[in-house]
Each structure stands twice: as C-alpha cells, then as structure tokens.
Structure 1
Amino acid sequence: MPPSVPPTGTKNSYCSTSTSSTSGTESSLKKVEPTEDVLQDVERSEAGSSRERLELSRIRSGAVDMDLDEQEEELQRGMSRVDTKNPDVVGWDGPEDPENPFNWPNRKKWRITLIAALVTFCVAFASSVFTAGISPIAAEFQVSTTVATLGLTLYVVGFATGPLVFAPMSEVYGRNIVYIGTWIPFMLFQIGCALSKNAATLLVSRLICGIAGSSPLSNAGGTLGDIWTPAERGDAMSFFTLAPFMGPVFGPIIGGFLTEYVSWRWTFWLVLIISGVMFIFLLFCLPETYSKTLLERKAARLRKETGNENLHAAHERGGVSHMQRFGQSIVRPVVMLFTEPIVFLIALYCALVYAILYMNFVAYPIVYQEERGWGMGIGGLPFLAIGVGMVCAIATSPWQTKLYLKLTAERGNGKIYPEGRLPFSIVGAFCLPVAIFWFGWATLPQVHWICSVLAGIPFGFGMVTLFLCMFSYLVDSYLLYAASSLAANTLLRSLFGAFFPLFASRMYIKLSPRWACTLLGFISLAMAPIPYLFYKYGPALRARSKRTF
C-alpha cells in the first residue's frame, strides 16, 4: 500500500491540516503507512483540497528535484514523505476553511454554475445562429454555399484550437483571467462579423470569435469541479451540460426569423448584446475558483500581513515557474487524447454525436425548407423537438445522482467511483441510432411531418444523457486534469463538428436524407457499446493510467 499523508497536529494556522484527529503525531521524515481513516479522508477529498494537501506533502518531503511529470504523478498518487514542521507552507485552515471553494455556500456555488452555463450557451448559440444566413450570405457576397458554410466551420475550428491554450492557462493562472481575457475579443469581433463587407472579413472574424469563445467550453467544467464535491456534482453537471446543446437548438430558430424578417447581420448584433450582458456577469459576479490561484493569493496576503516573505503556497516551491507549468500543461490535452484510452474513446464517440448534431443544421433545411417548402423561421422550429429531448434528459438527473451514490457506496470502497456515472449513458447510447433511423425514414414525402420532427426527442435525450454521463466520468476520473481531459474532448469534438457540415449537404442530396441517415445510424450503432465497456472495464483501465483518480 503506498504511503499517504498521515494525520498531523500542526499548530501553524497557515498549513493544511488533516481531518483526522490523532494524538502523538510523529513529525519525523520517515514513510508512514496510512491508517484506514486517513485513506478514507484523502479519498473523500475533492480536487482542490486534496491537491494542495498532496503538494504540501511533496514540498515537505523535499521532492523538488523531479521533473514536472514525476511531480504530477507523485501528486496524483499521494506517494510522499511528510515533514510536519514546515511553518511556511500556506494551505487551507482545516477542512472547514470558508475560503476553500468546496465550503462555499450552495447559493454562491449555484450562482457560479449559472454564469458558467450562460456563457457557454452564448458561445454555442453563436455557432448555430449563423447557419440560417448561409444562403443570403452566399448570395450577397457572390460565393458558393460551401464557402459561406466555412463561417460555421472556422468558428467551430476555433473551438478545437482555443482550448489547447486556454485550458492549460486556467490551470496555471486561474479561471477568471482566462474567461475575461477571451470574452473581450469574442464580443469585439461580433462587430466585425456584423459590419463585414466581404466574405474574407466575415470568415476571419468568425474564426477569431470561435477561438476566443472556446474558453468556456473547456474551462467551465473545471470551474464546476473546483466548487462541487463528487456527490453534489451530478446535478450541477446536468444543468451545465444542457447549455452547450440548447444553444445550437435555439440558434437556427431565432436566426431563421431574424434572417427572414430583418437581416442576417442582426444575428451577430444579437450575439453582441447577449455577450455584453454576460461580460458584466463575468466581471462582477464570478469569483476565482481555482484552488492553486486562491492559495497563491492567500500566501501573498499573509506575506503582506505578517512580513514573513518565506510564506508560500505548496506549488510555488521547487523552482517550477508559471511558464514551466504552462509549457507542460499546453501539450497535456493532446498527449492525453492519444495516450489515455478513456479520453480518446470518449472524445471519439462525443465527436461523432456532435458532428451529427451539426449536420442536422444542413439536413433540416433540406428536409423542411427544400422538400416541404417551409420558410426560414418555420423551418427552424423542428429543432425544438431536440430541445424537448434534452430537457427530458436533464429531468433524469436526480435519478442519475441517486444511482451514482448507490453504486459508489456498494463498489467504491470509500473512494470516488467514476463508473457510477455511466448507467444512464448506456440507455442514451442506444437512443441515438434509433432516433437517426427514425428521422431518416420519416422524411418520406408521404409521411406526415410530425413523425420526423418527433424523432428529435430521442436524439436530444440520448445526446445530452451521453454527454452528461461522459463529462462527469471524465471529471471524476481525472480530478487533477479535469480541464485538460475536457479540452482534449473539445478538440476532437470540435474538429468533427467543424468539417462534417462541409460535405453534409452533398451527402444528404446525393444519398437522400433516408440513406444518409441510415449510414450515420449504423455508425452510431457500432459505437453504442462504448459506455457499457467503460462501465465494465473502466476500473481496470483507470488502474493502468498515471493520471486517473
């Protein structure tokens, strides 16, 4: 059994303290075999607090000569020797420290969750609201519809590239500076889109908007992991997961009516207005949540108050600068994508589902506007059925949480049990191919339109259930690297979502919606067993990883 952090009775209020009560605590630098109470205490600790306690152990043990990967590995597994006599390491003042984000009031946590969801909704909404204007843009700028569709592609390509920088930045410099620093160009280049005089200006502005707007997609999950314990995280993740999918649902509807009755340029003015309101929330209502950044600030405050310049957060020792940490973190999402089977397979599956969602932005206009003769605004209303399915998926959240807690109690042995997040995803995975086959063959001209519209309900349900469970599974499995694992997911998912719509139009026209959906349905069916495989073999896969919990 690997050594862990023994209970300490240190008297210095600056240092992290254990939740276990012991007497006669040893303060020597020997390895200590942890008691069952200590193991359970560490295992119940969430990402921020456990991270700091393990880092404190590393610094106290003098483990500062390892490279960053070795330090992170030791940090993850708690393999440290402990010196309880270092009075200069600043940590949380016990398990009930009100400055620890896990101890913040639920009212404050839900406010943060709401803001994170709203900014994510805004970014996702901006991606799909553009699709309603593809044909008018092509006509105005005298380009092909494929070139006009690049406005969607480049925006979603920004989703893929931005998190490679913004997720590591949030793990080095904190969440807020990334949110605010990227939101400003996201707003400003909406103006560039609205006032563009040619296709080149519009496409470049859309790319920059996509890059700048990508930070909430990868960092908001990390924000939720900063403040919610695993037992509480299910409901918060359910609410948050709805945002990036409801945005694409409402985008074509609102964009369709704006384009039909006002102008396609007003889709960007609307996004500017919404993002301006969100900027006020980010600036004044969203506190910093990242544990390392908060401890750095606490150490700085204590240095100023006490005059003791030796006070420091645990991770500020060992000669590891911000740039070194950033340099390692910036490649971590790509490394995890290709070296972690869990991250890769989940990213691949989510990418396929995400691509099908974005292909619907092409398929629905063909089915309802071209084949059935509906207008732009009315032709976007069938997306509401997908939204209904999404809401139904979120409504299952209390049952998902209860099942997770039950499975954790039965199989977790006092630890977090990430596989407890997956049972509902097994159901959702098989809802997707059913919905795709249903939609495709219900588009026959002699079939009433309501039949194809209703197919959106199981699609929305399956998609959100799958993403909700998979995102929670990633966060629980990669506590220290939650933002990086989500960034890897966002990278592949966004690439699929960006490029699939480019050939979707030709595919749906040449194959017909029926056979195009049949092809996608069989691909989806082939990948449907993935959640079950993780549910059964996930613990073994996690045991072989250096980065999982």
Structure 2
Amino acid sequence: MPANNQTTLGIAVAITVAPSVPDVELALIVSTTNKVRDSDPYLIAFIQPIDPSNPKDWPHSRKIAVTDVLSAIGFCPIMAGTIMAPALPTIKTELHMNSTEVVMALSIYLLATAFGPLAIGPLSEIHRRKNILHICNAWFLVWNLVCVFADTKCLLIAARFLAEFGASSTYALAGGVLGDVWRPEERGRSLCLYLLIQLLGAAVGPIIGGFMAARTTWRWMFWSISIFQAAMLVAEMAIFQETYAPIILRQRAAHLRRSTGNLQYRTVYERQDNSKSVPTVLARALTRPMRQLALHPIIQITFLIQAWSYGIVYLVLASFASLWTGQYDQSIELSGPHYIAYAAGEIAGRSADPSWIATTACADARKTASTAPNPASS
C-alpha cells in the first residue's frame, strides 16, 4: 500500500514520528507504534502531532465540558453519602434500628466504594468508559429510589450499599477520564476543577438533610438526590463522549475493515491481544487491581492510609449531627452548617494538588531534557 495514500474515507491511517511525550503511559504506546510503523501500514494510530479524534487534542471547551459533567455526576454520590446524617435519630426510631445499625446504614455506603472500582475500572477499558459510566449511574439512580420506599432496616442498608456500588464509577473512572483528555502539565488545573464541585457535596448534603429532617420526612432526602441524579444522567448522556484512546482507535479500525473489506487493519492493542480469548482478556483486566494490591508495597501503604482516613471521616460524619443536637442543644437545622468546616478542609487540602502536580511535571521535564542525547554530539 503506498505510503502517500494511507487514508480511506477521510480516516487517517498514517503513523508519523511523535514528538517528545512527557506522559509515561502514552510514551510507551508511541514507542511501540513507532517501531512497527514502517513494516506495518495497516496499524491504526493517532496522527501526530494533532489528531482531532484524540481526546488530548480536543478543543479546550470540549475538555472543560467533559470535566464539568464528571464533576456534577460525582456531586450526587458524595451528597448522598452525607445527606442522611442529620436524620439518623429519626430513621433509627422509624425503622426500629439500634445505634450500630443506623450508623451502618450511613457508613456501608463507603464500603461499596472499596469494591465497585475493582470491577468498574477494568470493565471500562473493555466495554468503553462512556457505556460503563451510563450504566453505573443509572444503577445508582434505581437503588437510590429503592431507599425512598425502604420500610425495613435491612432493605435500607442493602439499597444504600448497592446504590454506592454503582455510584463508585465516578471515583473509578474520574482519574482515567481526566488522564485521557488532559496532558500531564494540564491535569493539576483540571483536577482542581473536578474536585471543587464534587467536594461541596460533603457540606451541602448535611445542610439540606438537616432542614429536610426538621421540616419533612427523611425520605425526601432520597427523592431530592434521585431527581438531581436523573437530571445529571440526561446531561451526561448528551455531553459525555468516549475518551479512552484504545477504544477510539478500535472503532476507527473496525470502520476501516467494514468500509474497505480489508481485515488487516488493527490497532497496536488489538495486535497485542489478538491471540488471547475474550475471557482471558477480561479475567486479566478484572484481576489486575488485586494483583497490583498484592504485589506492590506502595499501593498497599496507600490503601491502608486511605482506608484509615475514610474510616475517620465517616465516623465524624455519623457523629457530628448528634453531637451538636445532643451535647450543645442545637436544632437539627443548625447542626448542618457545621459540615462546612469539613468541606473547607477538603477544598484547602485539594487546592495544593495543582501546584504540586505542576512542580513534579516541571521537574520531570527538566530531568528528561538533561538525560536526552545531544544531536550535535551524534
């Protein structure tokens, strides 16, 4: 196939030498494709230096839209995790729960966050991030509605767990999506934007929940979450687009195979997995998080620190409302604004992320520049 005629139906197939890539995972992909580009004209990859279908080359406004939708979708689960805290005494009485059970109804929400991403993250790399995100958020909406009609403590606890299992897709996919669309030097600002909207849910939830617990039934807490989630789900389906590069390239290769009848068009990812069956690829993807947790000490340490931190956080969230109403004789409505301190601390801590990421990115760039071979000396 001639080198100057490697486009079919306007879809570019040519692979050119990419410039220096500061992203480790992207550098590996570029290195692999560059090695075989001369001997394999049917290998599908993004055109360098700019390809409109590459999420990292999208217009800035489109990247912001994806980030905003992801933040708004993440706002709901965080708000749902804390909104029922002021109503725990009411729920305890109505559903005949003891103190341990009512705290479990609140904190079991967090337990699902530990298990959901183990399956959701790998599945998104096989069945598209967009599809998994839509399905999981619809799953969260359904089980949150079940909480509205829960008339037993067992049903409420189970529905809370299953609702967060779907909602954990935001935690599982947010880092991947932001990494898909933003370059390393831009990720600090995008991460700050993503977290700013999302972390407000930790404070907004109990404030809204406090007024609802005092003025109406606690079931309206879940009604309000469901209504907001339904609106965000519609916006997500309208705005969010696939961001995972291997999936986009596979779609391009499949289109070329259908339109030309030439079955040789493949991506580098398909070439790597071509000899493996679908169950093998799926099993490898699903077990990867557990293998990394078992074999990498740094991941184990991070896991323990995060588990301890989130345990303390939910202990505070569960006891805050009863502390201010029981020990300080404040009303349920006034107990809610105390959660603003928690959100302020989170936002202050997360605000350091952009500067830290920018600093490390600059340091990595300087290190790469200092170790790069000098063309004049070769």
TM above 0.5, yes or no, is yes
Which structure ranks higher in relative contact order (CA pairs < 8 Å, sequence separation ≥ 6)? 2
Residues 302 and 239 (structure 1 numbering): CA distance in 2 closer, same or farther, change over 3 Å? same
CA contact (8 A) 2:107 2:314 kept: no
CA contact (8 A) 2:86 2:322 kept: no
Q: Which residue of 1 aligns with 2:87?
A: 133
Q: Which residue of 2 aligns with 1:264?
A: 218
Q: Which residue of 1 aligns with 2:171?
A: 217
Q: State the one-letter code of the partner of 2:231.
A: V
Residues 147 and 402 (structure 1 numbering): CA distance in 2 closer, same or farther, change over 3 Å? closer
Q: Which residue of 2 aligns with 1:404?
A: 360
Partners of 1:16 and 1:320 in 2: CA distance: 25
Residues 328 and 244 (structure 1 numbering): CA distance in 2 closer, same or farther, change over 3 Å? farther
Deviation at 1:169, TM superposition (A): 0.4
CA contact (8 A) 1:52 1:91 kept: no
| 1:330 and 2:299 are equivalent in the alignment | no
Deviations 1:84-141 (A, max 9, x none): 2212211112221111111011111111111111111211111111222221111011
Residues 388 and 153 (structure 1 numbering): CA distance in 2 closer, same or farther, change over 3 Å? closer
| 1:174 and 2:128 are equivalent in the alignment | yes
Residues 414 and 349 (structure 1 numbering): CA distance in 2 closer, same or farther, change over 3 Å? farther
CA contact (8 A) 1:121 1:244 kept: yes
Partner SS, residue 243 of structure 2: coil
Deviation at 1:394, TM superposition (A): 4.9
CA contact (8 A) 2:84 2:221 kept: yes
Partners of 1:218 and 1:245 in 2: CA distance: 16
Deviation at 1:176, TM superposition (A): 0.5
Q: State the one-letter code of the partner of 2:173.
A: N
Selected match of 1:53 from 30, 33, 36: 30
Extract unaligned runs of 5+ from structure 2: 7-11, 372-378
Alignment of structure 1 residues 67-216 onto 2, 5 Å = 82=36, 84-216=38-170
CA contact (8 A) 1:10 1:85 kept: no
CA contact (8 A) 2:23 2:184 kept: no
Q: Which residue of 2 aligns with 1:320?
A: 276
Residues 407 and 52 (structure 1 numbering): CA distance in 2 closer, same or farther, change over 3 Å? closer
Partners of 1:321 and 1:238 in 2: CA distance: 40
Deviation at 1:330, TM superposition (A): 0.8
Alignment of structure 1 residues 475-494 onto 2, 5 Å = none
Partners of 2:264 and 2:365 in 1: CA distance: 43
Q: State the one-letter code of the partner of 1:53.
A: V
Q: State the one-letter code of the partner of 1:222.
A: G
Alignment of structure 1 residues 13-28 onto 2, 5 Å = 13-19=12-18
CA contact (8 A) 1:189 1:208 kept: yes
Deviation at 1:355, TM superposition (A): 1.9
| CA-atom RMSD in angstroms | 2.3
Partners of 1:267 and 1:320 in 2: CA distance: 48
Residues 264 and 97 (structure 1 numbering): CA distance in 2 closer, same or farther, change over 3 Å? same
Partners of 1:46 and 1:107 in 2: CA distance: 25
Q: Which residue of 1 aligns with 2:22?
A: 44
Partners of 2:84 and 2:322 in 1: CA distance: 16
Partners of 2:180 and 2:311 in 1: CA distance: 29
Selected match of 2:346 from 380, 390, 400: 390
CA contact (8 A) 1:124 1:245 kept: yes
Partner SS, residue 84 of structure 2: helix
Q: State the one-letter code of the partner of 1:134.
A: L
Residues 338 and 227 (structure 1 numbering): CA distance in 2 closer, same or farther, change over 3 Å? same
Residues 224 and 398 (structure 1 numbering): CA distance in 2 closer, same or farther, change over 3 Å? closer
Partners of 1:282 and 1:200 in 2: CA distance: 32
TM-score, normalised by the number of residues in structure 1: 0.62
How many percent identity over aligned positions?
Answer: 25
Partner SS, residue 241 of structure 2: coil
CA contact (8 A) 1:183 1:212 kept: yes
Partners of 1:50 and 1:16 in 2: CA distance: 15
Alignment of structure 1 residues 357-396 onto 2, 5 Å = 357-396=313-352
Partners of 2:164 and 2:42 in 1: CA distance: 43
| 1:344 and 2:300 are equivalent in the alignment | yes
Q: Number of residue pairs matched?
A: 362
TM-score, normalised by the number of residues in structure 2: 0.88
Partners of 1:256 and 1:159 in 2: CA distance: 25
Q: State the one-letter code of the partner of 1:14.
A: V
CA contact (8 A) 1:172 1:322 kept: no
Deviation at 1:292, TM superposition (A): 0.7
Q: Which residue of 2 aligns with 1:309?
A: 263
CA contact (8 A) 1:365 1:379 kept: yes
